[in-house]
Every structure is written in structure tokens, then in C-alpha cells.
Structure 1
Amino acid sequence: MLKTLRDITQAVASAQNFHSALELIVTRTKVAMTTQCCSIYLLEDDNLVLSATDGLLQSAVGQVKMSLSEGLVGLAAEREEPINLADAHQHPRFKHFDQVEEASFRAFLAAPIVYQKRVLGVLVVQQADTRQFNEGEEAFLMTLAAQLAMAIKNQRKKAEAPDLLLFKGITAANGIAIAHALVLGGQIELQQPETKAVAIKDEVSRLIAAIETCKETLSTLSQRFENEEDNEVVSIFSALQSLLDNASLGGEYIKEVREGWSAVSAVSRVSLRYIEQFTQMQDLYLKERASDIRDLGLRVLRLLIEPERMGFEPDVPVILVTKEADATMLAEFPRHKLVGIVTEQGGVNSHAAILARALGVPAIIGVEGVLAARIDKKLLVINANRGQLLVSPSPTLIAEYRSLISAEKALQNQYSQELGLPAETIDGKRIHLYLNAGLLSSLASEIAEGSDGVGLYRTEIPFMLHQRFPSESEQVKVYRQVLDIACGKPVVMRTLDVGGDKPLSYFPIKEENPFLGWRGIRLSLDHPELFLVQLRAMIQASAGSRQLHILLPMVSNLDEIDQSITYLEQAFIELKSDLGDQIVKPKVGIMIEVPALLYQLAEVAKRVDFVSVGSNDLTQYMLAVDRNNPRVSTLYDCYHPGILRALKRARFDCWQYHLPVSVCGELAGEPIGVILLVAMGYDQLSMNQGSLARINYLLRRVSHSDLSELLEMALTLSSGQEVRELIREYFESRELSAILN
């Protein structure tokens, strides 16, 4: 039965068009349940419309309509539960439609089709016999309806997409941009039809040309990152290039063509074969090489199938449209050519979204159906402030958005004029503003003006850009560059924090619940050989200065702190004998992400020098919401009154125990969040560079005493939305509304 469910769902998902998808549903469901009639009704403008049937008159399709308060179909939709009747005609809600000719059918079973709490329609099966469908049949139809919901939603999007001018998504990084679309990973699949070559010699030539073009692209990328001194990335492209050699995958592709397959089929067959072999290997490093094979296979296939499409180095600035962006993709993309990001998947606080905000690139996520809309190279307007994507807008609309962009730039210039002035409230409360950073190549411009230092340097970024764990000397070089760029200002370096939405390709972690699993300090303590190398590298890099502060992520108990400090002592003692007085012991802190630590701050204060609140993960764990799961991402709300009360209590306890505390999560860079945090007493905030000038400007125009009263009002509210509305009203009363855009 599971195979039948899967076969029907997959067939519907891959149907040529929406009409074909509906026809497949009714015909295959009728056969699977050995019934005499199957129909599907879809909800359109508050009416249920007969949209496909196998058993009723075809002429009734599109003609029979009923409201949710009518008929048994309406009852199933209204109640959002199955209706199972032995004789439908005897039920008071039965409604007869002459045009469908269903008088001969008595047994009736209907299951609502629900997608993300919204009824899409109703799936119905009927039989002439007067009998009730059994529990197994009811369970099958309910399960099928649930599985079909996503497929129906996507097929409907495909049908509507060519006529749509507007797509909606969730804002991941604010801003507005106008550019043509560059679609990556659109409709090309690795599994291609198996076809024989008509002319083997021609296919070999075509394949070799595609391989050479792919090599040239990778070589160009490698050289660009060498020029930018991003040596961490160069090894990625070198490894990919070598796989295309004749002695590796490239030779296997050509061999397959010479055996009679077309170039496209050859690349597909070889890639799938090797991916299967590598994924079955026990060695984790070799197992993960399957992702390289998939990446190369798709690149070569695109050159064979769409040789005219734009490559990685577009000639003009573009808006990247893809299924899901990752940190590596964004890091390798030409930074001056990337003006916007649109994805079908991903979370607002995923690492890629955070990176987009750090780069100052407008981004929206969760844009359903955008890849099916065939928008590659079309002119787009991304209005991330409102979560909107406009396709092929009119000249008038473009002119309006250009005016908005000019106004936005004028505001940013206005904010920047005060960036060199201290962030101090009207009544003299000094707030220290720090930077969150991770990309070395952009750090120099970020730290130059306006910040008090680096409040969070994400050391996992260099790790993610390698094909192996970086050596001690490689890490020393990177960390020393960061400290040098900071020009004597403090730098908080977080130890390796991978897992969850930050995987390492060469050290995969496969878990059902990665955010509750083996990540952060847990991984480091289980691999002291890696942890000690990183600690030694940090301490060596800081020789001759007192800038370095070390931050431990994902700490959940006191023993983890004690073990970490022991390893730090070991690393320091080892280096002290070699470097002497050049090095000093760095200050050590922990991230407050796991809620349990909120209740142990008295004990924490005896062990560490400072703490930093990671509001992203703290919110995620307190609300039990995976912030990267689009099905529940709407429940992720850092302004939830419960979260605000926890943050206020944490600030009070840290003050009570003389424990310096900062906030380094996304909340610290949002105007509404900053107002609330400063009201609670937080005076150290770490944020992305794009937020720095705006937050400085805001703080210089508010009164700390006024904010305290505002906070007390916010804490009495019942939802995050009410909190936002309250703070917006406060901004409006002080003519600061523009700062929210």
C-alpha cells in the first residue's frame, strides 16, 4: 500500500500540467481502491468545484459548484475530517446535482485535502453498493489526500506561474533591487532519460567541449579567489577540477559515450552510478564525495542541455533564484554581481540568510513555485522589505522602485554620516556596538568605522570553505588577519560551531534532529584533537595583544565549561613554553542558547569572564521551533513575550552576578529588538555591518528612561505581533518610522 501511495503522489508531482495531474489523481485512486467512482473538488473563491472525475459525467467538470455549507463534500471541507457513509442519499446534507448522474452511487467516502492549515479541496470515492468503507480504506484515502496536498499546491503554482506578475515570500534580508534573474538548479535533474547516441564521434566532441568549459569556469573561480586572498576556497575548485580529468569522472563520461550512449545520458548514468557507490561507503570523507559528483554532473549537464545559459560569472548584476542557497554558493558568487537572492526553501535565520544580511544583499525565502515559472533572464524587482518578487514589471513600476531605491540610499547616507559618533541615547546611556563577521575578505571594510570591535567572529566559515579540516598554521594565519584588521579593538572568536544548518561537507553529521544533536561545543569536546588545534591557533594569533576573547557555543551544562577551560589551560601552557610573555591568557565566555543555562548563571559567573546571548537559537529552543523548517517557521518569533521575559531575567541575573553580557543574535541588529534590549539594560550589542549605521542613528534619538516604560508595557502583551505594533507606534510618535523599512 505504501508503494501505491508513493507511485500516485510521484506521478501527480511530475505530471505535465495541472489538468493531467487531476486526471491522474482520480483514475489511479479509483484503481487503487477498486471503487466505481473517484472525484476531486477544489476550493475556488469559497466554492468547491468539481475539477476532475472518473465515474461521474465529464460534462459536469467545472460546472458543479457548492459552498462549504452545502452537500456532503462541503461538510468534509467544513469539518476538515473524513465523511464515511453507507448510503449518502439518507444523510440530511446530501445534495443532488442533475448534471453529474450519481443516483446509482450509495457508498460515499470523502477526505479533505489540507495544506498548512488551509483546505485546498476534497477527494471523494463512491460505490453503488450500500456499505461503509472499512477502516483501511478510510485510512488510505486520508493518507493519500495528505500526501497529495503538496503536489496539488505545486501543480497549481505551475499552472498559474506563467501569468503571475507577483510572487510572495518571507523576508530574510531587507532591501530593494532591480536586475535580471539568474536561475540555478531550475528544471535540470541529474536523472536523465537513457538515449543512445546517433553519432558517437559528435557526442564525444560535444561532451569534451562541455567538460573543458566547466574546467575553465572552475579555474576562473579559483583564480578570482586567489586574487581576493580567499585561499580557503581555492582548494574546493581544485578538487572539482581534478575530478573532471580523464583519469577520473571526465574519462568515465567519455567511455560511456563510446559505448553508445548520448552525452547527456552518459553524464547522468556515470554520476548516478558513482553517487550510489560513494553513499554506501563506510568512510565518512569518501561518502561525502557523492556531493561533489552530483555538483559536477549537474554543471556538465547544464552545459550540454542549456549551452547558452549564463555561467557563474554573469556579465551584469543579477538576482540569484535557486531552490536553496547555502553558504558556499554565496561565498563563491561574484559579490559585486549579486544584488538579490530568492529561494524556494530555507529559513529566515538559516546560515545562508544570516550571510545574506551580512553581505547587505536583499533576500526572500519560501517563494513557492518560483523555479517552475521559467523566469531565467527576465527582469525582476525584489522588494525584500515586503517579501515580494515582481516578474517583468512595467516601466512605470520600475521607475517607482528606482525612486524607492534612491530614497533608501539617501536614508542610508543619512545614517552613515553619524557612524563615527558614539552610540549614546539622549539621556547619556552609552551602548557599545560590535560586528558579527565570518568572511575575511569583507571584514576590513566592516571594522573600519563605527564599531567597538568584533562581537562574534564565526570561525566555522573558514572551515566550511575547505575540503578538509584546516591545519593549525592555516588557522593561525586567518585568525591573525582578523585580529590585525580589528586594529587593537576586542575580537570575540567563537570556537567551531557546526551542525544544524551549518554542515561541513568533509565531516557530515547525519541526525534526525540536528539542532538538538551533535553540534557546537559537544562536537569539539568529543574531538579534543581538533579543539586543541583551534585553541592553540587562536592563542598564537593573538600573541602581542590582549584583543582575543574566546566564546564557547551550544553549552548546555557546567561540566562542558569545566572541560573546555581545562583544554584551554593545556593549550596555553604548551604555547607558553615556546612563546613566553608574548601570549596572554584570553578571556573566556559562553553563548546562552540552551534555556537550561538561564537558571545556572550564578554558577556560570564563577567559571567564565562573560556571556553572549545567541537570540536565534535561544528562541528556537524555547519555542520548540526549527527555524529552518518552512512548515513551522511562522511560529518562530523572537518577540514572543515569553522570550522577552527570559532575556530580561538573563540581563538582571548577569548584573546581579557581575557577569558582562552581550547579545549577538539577529535581534541585536533589528530596530525593534534593539529598543527592547536596551530597555532591559543590555549595553553590548553585536550585529551585521549592514545594521550598524542604522542602529547607531536610532539610539542617538531615543531616551533610555522612556524605553524602560515601553518595555513594561510590552511585557504585559500576549503575542509578538502585539509587541511589534506597540514599538511601531512608539517609532511613529517620534517620527522614526522610516528606520523600520
Structure 2
Amino acid sequence: MLKTLRDITQAVASADDLQSALSLLVTQTKLAMATQCCSIYILEEHELVLSATDGLDPNAIGNVKMPVTQGLVGLVAEREEPVNVADAHLHPRFKLFSEVAEDSFRAFLAVPIIYQKLIIGVLVVQQAEARQFSEAEEAFLMTLAAQLAMTVREQRKRAEVASAPNQLYYSGTTAANGVVIAHAMVLGADIPLEQPDTFASDINAEQAMLQQALSACRNTLSGLSQRFDGENEKEVQSIFSALLLLLDDTSLGGEYAREVAQGLSAVSAVSRVSLRYIAQFQQMQDPYLQERANDIRDLGQRVLRQLIEPQKMHIELDVPVILVTKEATATMLAEFPQHKLVGIVTELGGVNSHAAILARAFGVPAIIGVEGVLNAGIDGKQLVLNATRGQVLVSPTPTLIREYRQLISAEKALQKRFSDELPLPAKTLDERRVHLYLNAGLLSSLASEIAEGADGIGLYRTEIPFMLQPRFPSESEQVEVYKQVLDAAIGRPVVMRTLDVGGDKPLSYLPIIEENPFLGWRGIRLTLDHPELFLVQLRAMLNASAVRDQLHILLPMVCCLDEIDQAIAYLEQAYLEVKQDLHPHLVRPKIGIMLEVPVLLFQLEEVAKRVDFVSVGSNDLTQYLLAVDRNNPRVSTLYDCYHPGILRALKHARIDCDKYQLPVSVCGELAGEPIGVILLVAMGYDQLSMNQGSLAKINYLIRRVSYADLSELLDKALSLTNGTEVRQLVTAYLKAAQLDEFL
């Protein structure tokens, strides 16, 4: 049965077009269930349209339509559940369409096809004999419909692009914000990595060809690395350094050579080694390790291009384009001519992939996880990429393009208006001061970002340099990075979070395979289990800080008081070592914890006796309070930081921190959103840390609201029942205050 399900699903997925896919579906389902008729109805503009059949009159396809309020098929869509009747003619919802010639069929079984809570169609099987379909038959059809939901949706999207593209859009996950209009450039692999096994007639000649190709690849990657070195992009540069290491004799380069030494041609050797390692990495459960398979594929194809057609190694573009690809690689993006790559759309990849990091470093709008876009036939079509909202609009109408161009122009003007006030302090109309800090991870442009109005760095994510290395960075390497961060802040506070990996931030060289990584070995749990790593990082932070009174150390994912005590003991050990060996006048840093595990909301009195400050991680606190994985698209709609229960927890934290004289800040996404800031300021939070792109906007907003008015607004928000009502309430307030530009 499983093989039958898989065969049907694969046949439908590989069909050339929607109609072929639906025809295959009904024919193979009819055979699998040994029935006399199988049909599929697709929901189009609130009507169910007969879209394919094997058993009814084929002339009725596309002509028979019914609202969901009519017929047995409509009943399935209306109730979103199967209907299984022995004699359809006797059912009160039965409706006969003479043009389909189904009056001879009695037994009726239909199941809904649902994708992400939305009905997209109904799958029906019928039989002349009056009988009830068995539970096993019903279960099979329901399983098939569930497996086919995404495939049918993708086929429909592909058909819509070809036939009626004007208002079609795809959605994905934002990797880098921004809005841009340009034509699509769909880019796959120029040369397939899968090459046949051929044997060398002259092993020495093949080895020479291989070494020449490897040398050319090294030169290219070195050039890219130096390009970013010139722009002080140390983290981006380390991506190419890691790729260069893969070409060493001790890594993939040596594996290629060994295969050639055993008699394979250079092309076959590169193919065989690459495919072997890709298969190993793809089988790993860790998402970061799975992404490293993409690095191996990228290098393999690069070497193959040097071996097979070295003259085609450069991308030449006349106009700016939006790159559409399966999964962008760091080298692919870096090789694009400057100012010609204006947007990125990928089917795969993660927000911490090398490509996503590069996109943010370049300031190029990017979205990832866009299902079915690569094979949708959009190459050369004009796109509107609204990465801020995670949307791609295909072949938009002239009217829509004009509207988006006006939007882009207005957005630039608005950003300038915001930026003009950024040097001014963030104070409410009734003179309540709010300190705005920067969340940072990459060193790129950090000095200029701090100079543009931040009161300091509220969260420096030290895991980013760890993630961009093929190994743990040494103490001296960490010292160098931390010094640059402290120097960039020019005497202002810098909150450095200790290594926070695990969950959605794994390290390629420290695989963590867990069934539930967000509740597993991550954050302070990992570093306390590895004091050798923790002490090196603490010493590096202290050494970089020396006599400066800037450094604040933040502990992530703390869930109990014992963890705080252990971490403080290690910090004391590191402090005494650095003071004795390097800096006799070393300033003792302040220490704080991330407030993201809900249990600590009820232990803030004890926390206040141990640490100097707390920082609320609103992202994780929300997902733990709601029991929703914020990175899981199946439940992402349940993740709502404006849920009144979340807001009450945040207010409770603020009240208790005041009670125990414990400084508190917020460093999650909530602190950079206008609606979130309105509510947080109303609660009394006066330290907010956010991404650089939000600083000017939030500063501008705070200078136009009254704390007294916000307090009254908060009381209303806390009495509401869901996050939607909260948004509506704050939206109405912003409109009344003539602050529509924040909506």
C-alpha cells in the first residue's frame, strides 16, 4: 500500500502540467482502489470545478461547477471531512448533473484535499454497486489526499503562472528585508554533478588536469576572500576561507586525487567523491550539517566546470536581476557583478545559511523556502520581491508595478525622515527616556551602525563567528573579534551573549542530533557541560575588555539558579586568571541572564541576588509559553507575540524587576516592531535592543507618543482575548495619533 501511495504521488509530482497531473491522479487512484470511477474537483473562486475524471463523461471537465453549499462534493468541502455513503442517490445533498452521466453510480466516497488549513479540492471515487466503502479504503483515500495536497497546490501554481500570472504570488520566509522590482534569473547547475564513471587512459595527465582545476578554484575563492577583506567583512571572508579548506589535500581535494590514483578520470572522481559526501550530509538530521552538503555540491560543480568548460565560469548580466535558485551558495552570490544582484529567492536554505548571511551583508532583499518556484516557468518574467513580507509577485500588472514603485519611493523618503532624527534622544512627549540598543552578529558596518544613533550594543551574538568557522575559534581569534566590537561601540555598553548554539543554531563541527532540539542541549546547558570552551570564551571577552568599563556578559537559555551559580563561578575563575596574567587593573564586567525560559518569571527575586541585569528574549519566551516552534511552518500561525497571555507575562516581568531593583531590557523581535514598542514602553521598559534597520523608525515613533496615553492603552490590550484584537487596538491608536506611516 505504501508503494502504491508513493508511486501515485511521484507520478503526479513529475507531470508536465496541471491537467496531466490530475489525469494521472484519477486514473491511478481508480486502478489502486479497483473502482469504476475516480474524479477530482478543484476549488476555484468558491466553486468546485470538475477538473479530471476517469469514469464520468470527459466532456464535462471544466464545465460542471458547484458552490460548496451544494451536492455531496460540496458537503465534503464544507465540512472538511470525508463522506462515505452506500447509495448517493438517497442522500439529501445528492445533486445530479446530467452532463456527467453519473446516474449509474451508487456507492460514493469523497475526501477533502487540504493544504495548510485551506480546501483546495475534493477527491471522489464511485461504484455502480450500492455498498459502503470499507474503513481501509476510506483511510487509503484520505492518506493519498493528504500526501497529494502540496503537489496539487504546486501544480496549480505552475499552471497559474503560465495562464493567468497577473496577480500570482509565492510566499516564503524573510532572510533579508527590502522591496525590489526586477526580472527573474532562474539559475540551476550549469553542469550536473552526476557524471558517469570513466577511467583514465593516462593517470598522470588526469592528476595534472585535476590539480590545475583545483588551483583555478583556489585562486577564485582567494580573490573573493580578499575582496571582502578589503571591505572589512571578516565573517563573510571566513566563509570563503572554509571553502578553501575543503579543497586542501587533507579534505575533498585529497579525496579527488585518491580516486584518480585508483584509475578514475578527474571528472568522474570529483563526481563520485562529491555525491558520496553529499549523501552522508543529507542523511543527517541537523539542519546546519544538511546545509554543508550544499557547500560540497557547490565546490564539486565549480571543479567540474573548470575541468569541462573553464571558459564559462563568469556570470555576465546587462541588467539587474532577482536570482531564483534551488539553494543559493556563498560563491554564487559573491561572483555576481556588483549592483546586478538586487534580490534572492530560493526554495531551500535557512536564515543562518551562508547565502542568507551574505544577503544581509550585501543589503540584498531575500526570501527562502519558496515552494515550487524553481520549476514554475518564471525565468525572465518581471517580479516584485517584497522580502519584508516574504512575498514574490509574478508578472505584476502595470498598475501594481506603479503602486510598488511609489511604495519604494515613499519608503525611501520615510526612511530619510526617520534617519534625520536618529541623532536625537528617544524621549516620549512627556519626557520619558527610552534607550535604544543594537542587536548585532556580523562585524560588517558595525561601527557606522553604532555611530548612527544606538546607545550601545544590547546583544552581540557571539555564536555567529563560531558558525562561520570550520572549527572552534581560538582564544586569540575571539579576542580580536571582541575587541573590534568593543571599539565599534566607542565607550558605550556592549552586551555579549555567551555561546548560544543548539536548537536552530547548530555548529557543523559539533553535531547535536535531538528529537526536540529547542528543549534540548543548547545555550548555557552546552557551555556548562564544556567548561574548556566556556572558560576560553570568558577569558577572551575579559582580555578584549581589559580596563574598559563597557563589557556586560549575558547567559542564554538559563532555566535554574544552579546554572547561574555555576556560570558565575567560571566567570570568577576566568577573571582571576586574566587579571593575574594579562591585566592587573581588569574591570569586572556586569553579568546578566536571558529571560526566555518561563520558569524564571517566578524566581526573579532569587535571580536579582545573583546577577546585575536581565534581558528578555521575547522570541524564545513566546515560543515556550505558547508551546509553538517558531520555525515550524505547520504551526507558525499559532506563534503570536501579541497574545494577551504573553503581554501579561512581560508586564509581570517588568513589575518584579522594578520591585527587586533589577535592570531589564528586551532584545527580541518585539523590541523592533512599532506595535510591540508601543506596548513595551507602556509597560515601563526603557531599554530596547533591535536590528539596525529598526533603530531610526523606533526612535521616531517614541518621540511622538505619550507614556501616559500608552498606559491607558495597555490596560485595554491586556483585557483582550487574542493577538488579533491587540493589533487592531494599537493600530486604531496609531491612526488616531496620525502615525499611519508605522502601519
Deviation digits for residues 176-200 of structure 1, max 9, x if unmatched?
323444546x588978596999x99
2:536 is matched with which residue?
Answer: 533
| Post-superposition offset of 1:34 | 2.6
Counterpart-to-counterpart distance in 2, 1:174 and 1:254:
49
Counterpart-to-counterpart distance in 1, 2:516 and 2:309:
38
- Check 1:227–1:530 CA distance in 2 against 1; reply closer, same or farther (3 A cut): same
2:67 is matched with which residue?
Answer: 67
2:576 is matched with which residue?
Answer: 573
SS in 1 for 2:248: helix
- Check 1:314–1:708 CA distance in 2 against 1; reply closer, same or farther (3 A cut): farther
Q: Does 1:697 align with 2:704?
A: no
Counterpart-to-counterpart distance in 1, 2:290 and 2:538:
29
Match of 1:614 among 617, 631, 650: 617
Q: Which moved more, 1:153-162 or 1:338-347?
A: 338-347
2:22 is matched with which residue?
Answer: 22
Contact 1:242 1:248 in 2 (8 A): no
- Check 1:480–1:387 CA distance in 2 against 1; reply closer, same or farther (3 A cut): closer
Q: Does 1:47 align with 2:47?
A: yes
Deviation digits for residues 493-528 of structure 1, max 9, x if unmatched?
011112222222222222232222221111112222
2:729 is matched with which residue?
Answer: 726
Counterpart-to-counterpart distance in 2, 1:549 and 1:157:
50
Counterpart-to-counterpart distance in 2, 1:473 and 1:302:
38
Contact 1:200 1:257 in 2 (8 A): no
Q: Which moved more, 1:569-578 or 1:639-648?
A: 569-578
1:178 is matched with which residue?
Answer: 181
1:512 is matched with which residue?
Answer: 515
1:94 is matched with which residue?
Answer: 94
- Check 1:284–1:82 CA distance in 2 against 1; reply closer, same or farther (3 A cut): closer
Counterpart-to-counterpart distance in 2, 1:191 and 1:38:
41
| Post-superposition offset of 1:162 | 3.0
Q: Following superposition of structure 1 onto structure 2, how do residues 199-214 of structure 1 map, counting pairs within 5 Å?
A: none
SS in 1 for 2:444: helix
SS in 2 for 1:111: strand
Deviation digits for residues 650-685 of structure 1, max 9, x if unmatched?
101100010000001111111211111111101111
Counterpart-to-counterpart distance in 2, 1:308 and 1:81:
58
1:237 is matched with which residue?
Answer: 243
Identity %: 71
Structure 1: gaps spanning 5 or more residues: none
Counterpart-to-counterpart distance in 2, 1:333 and 1:106:
62
Structure 2: gaps spanning 5 or more residues: none
Match of 1:224 among 223, 227, 232: 227
Contact 1:460 1:497 in 2 (8 A): yes
Counterpart-to-counterpart distance in 1, 2:666 and 2:330:
23
Q: Does 1:105 align with 2:96?
A: no
Counterpart-to-counterpart distance in 1, 2:184 and 2:211:
29
Q: Does 1:249 align with 2:251?
A: no
Supply the AA of the counterpart residue of 1:630. Answer: P
Counterpart-to-counterpart distance in 1, 2:416 and 2:74:
57
Q: Which moved more, 1:276-285 or 1:145-154?
A: 276-285
- Check 1:105–1:379 CA distance in 2 against 1; reply closer, same or farther (3 A cut): closer
Q: Following superposition of structure 1 onto structure 2, how do residues 432-511 of structure 1 map, counting pairs within 5 Å?
A: 432-511=435-514
Counterpart-to-counterpart distance in 2, 1:454 and 1:723:
30
1:706 is matched with which residue?
Answer: 709
Contact 1:536 1:572 in 2 (8 A): yes
Counterpart-to-counterpart distance in 1, 2:309 and 2:130:
57
1:145 is matched with which residue?
Answer: 145
Contact 1:161 1:369 in 2 (8 A): no
| Post-superposition offset of 1:536 | 1.3
| Post-superposition offset of 1:603 | 1.2
Contact 2:179 2:386 in 1 (8 A): yes
| Post-superposition offset of 1:107 | 2.6
Contact 2:314 2:335 in 1 (8 A): no
- Check 1:70–1:416 CA distance in 2 against 1; reply closer, same or farther (3 A cut): closer
| Post-superposition offset of 1:601 | 0.9
Contact 1:443 1:485 in 2 (8 A): yes
- Check 1:354–1:284 CA distance in 2 against 1; reply closer, same or farther (3 A cut): closer
Q: Does 1:169 align with 2:175?
A: no
Contact 2:189 2:301 in 1 (8 A): no
Q: Which moved more, 1:136-145 or 1:5-14?
A: 5-14
Counterpart-to-counterpart distance in 1, 2:731 and 2:53:
51
Contact 2:221 2:240 in 1 (8 A): no
1:735 is matched with which residue?
Answer: 738
2:664 is matched with which residue?
Answer: 661
- Check 1:157–1:482 CA distance in 2 against 1; reply closer, same or farther (3 A cut): same
Counterpart-to-counterpart distance in 1, 2:306 and 2:156:
30
SS in 1 for 2:445: helix
Contact 1:347 1:627 in 2 (8 A): no
| Post-superposition offset of 1:365 | 5.5
Counterpart-to-counterpart distance in 1, 2:366 and 2:503:
21
Match of 1:546 among 526, 549, 561: 549
- Check 1:145–1:390 CA distance in 2 against 1; reply closer, same or farther (3 A cut): closer
Q: Following superposition of structure 1 onto structure 2, how do residues 296-445 of structure 1 map, counting pairs within 5 Å?
A: 296-297=299-300, 318-322=321-325, 339-344=342-347, 361-364=364-367, 367-376=370-379, 378-384=381-387, 388-393=391-396, 398=401, 400-445=403-448
SS in 1 for 2:119: strand
Supply the AA of the counterpart residue of 2:244. Answer: S
Supply the AA of the counterpart residue of 2:169. Answer: F
Supply the AA of the counterpart residue of 1:169. Answer: S
SS in 2 for 1:372: coil
- Check 1:52–1:278 CA distance in 2 against 1; reply closer, same or farther (3 A cut): closer
SS in 1 for 2:582: helix
Contact 1:328 1:464 in 2 (8 A): no
Q: Does 1:559 align with 2:562?
A: yes
| Post-superposition offset of 1:440 | 0.9
SS in 2 for 1:617: helix
Supply the AA of the counterpart residue of 2:374. Answer: L
Q: Which moved more, 1:4-13 or 1:297-306?
A: 297-306
Supply the AA of the counterpart residue of 1:146. Answer: A
SS in 1 for 2:3: helix
Counterpart-to-counterpart distance in 1, 2:733 and 2:371:
35
Counterpart-to-counterpart distance in 1, 2:603 and 2:316:
51
TM-score by length of 1: 0.88
2:590 is matched with which residue?
Answer: 587
Q: Does 1:10 align with 2:13?
A: no
- Check 1:337–1:475 CA distance in 2 against 1; reply closer, same or farther (3 A cut): farther
| Post-superposition offset of 1:105 | 3.3
Contact 1:233 1:465 in 2 (8 A): yes
SS in 1 for 2:274: helix
Contact 1:423 1:697 in 2 (8 A): yes
TM-score by length of 2: 0.88
Contact 2:173 2:370 in 1 (8 A): no
Contact 1:359 1:690 in 2 (8 A): no
- Check 1:404–1:79 CA distance in 2 against 1; reply closer, same or farther (3 A cut): closer
Q: Following superposition of structure 1 onto structure 2, how do residues 594-605 of structure 1 map, counting pairs within 5 Å?
A: 594-605=597-608
Aligned length in residues: 734
- Check 1:337–1:519 CA distance in 2 against 1; reply closer, same or farther (3 A cut): farther
Contact 2:161 2:378 in 1 (8 A): no
Counterpart-to-counterpart distance in 2, 1:317 and 1:735:
37
